[in-house]
Amino acid sequence: MKLIQYTSPTLSAWTPFNRLSPFQDLLDSAFESSNRGATRVPPLDIHVNADAVNVHLELGGMKKEDFDISLEEDTLTVSGRRDLEAAGENSRAELFRGAFSRSITLPCPVQAGKVKASYQDGILSITLPKVEEVKPRKITVG
């Protein structure tokens, strides 16, 4: 599907190129269908504060058993599979279906043993506490 900006209708003169419009539509649909097999990834937000790295992924329509979270060195990976009811011939399907994997490189070292994850209302929230030597410290002058 192509998204195009709406423009108000205007009267236009007929041109011989108007006859190519069905051909252009056929080409557009061919390229659109070839993109359906492309790997899609869920959108995410990353917030870094003084104590932790917080990652939020949008995984609507999934159960917590449908995805896996792994942390290897400085890379966080969330992978899973979304199986939704198949769309019929006379319907329009834009929701993502199938397997996905999203990996991000963390901006700083984290404590792997203290990572916490929660899943509520389609949002996966992962809190990765920073290691002590990375946390900023206030130094007072004596």
Instruction: For residue range 3-50, list pLDDT tens digits in order.
Output: 666 666 666 666 666 666 676 677 666 665 544 545 578 899 999 998
Residue 67: the pLDDT is 92
Distance CA 93, CA 90 (A): 10
Distance CA 11, CA 9 (A): 7
Instruction: Dig out the tokens for 74 from the structure.
Output: 């400085």
Residue 8: the pLDDT is 65
How would you classify the pairing of strands 75-82 and 116-120? unpaired
Residue 92: the pLDDT is 78
Beginning with the edge strand found earlier in the chain, give each strand of the sheet holding 67-72 in spatial order. 67-72, 75-82, 98-105
Is 70 strand, coil or helix? Answer: strand
Residue 69: the pLDDT is 95
Distance CA 50, CA 132 (A): 10
- State the pLDDT confidence band at 133, using cuts at 50, 70 and 90: confident
Write down the architecture of domain 44-134 according to CATH. Answer: Sandwich (2.60)
Question: Out of 4-13, 52-61, 130-139, which region has the weakest mean confidence (pLDDT)?
Answer: 4-13
* pTM score over 0.85: no
Question: What is the number of other CB atoms lying within 10 angstroms of the CB of residue 125?
Answer: 14
pLDDT in tens, 38-56: 557 889 999 999 899 999 9
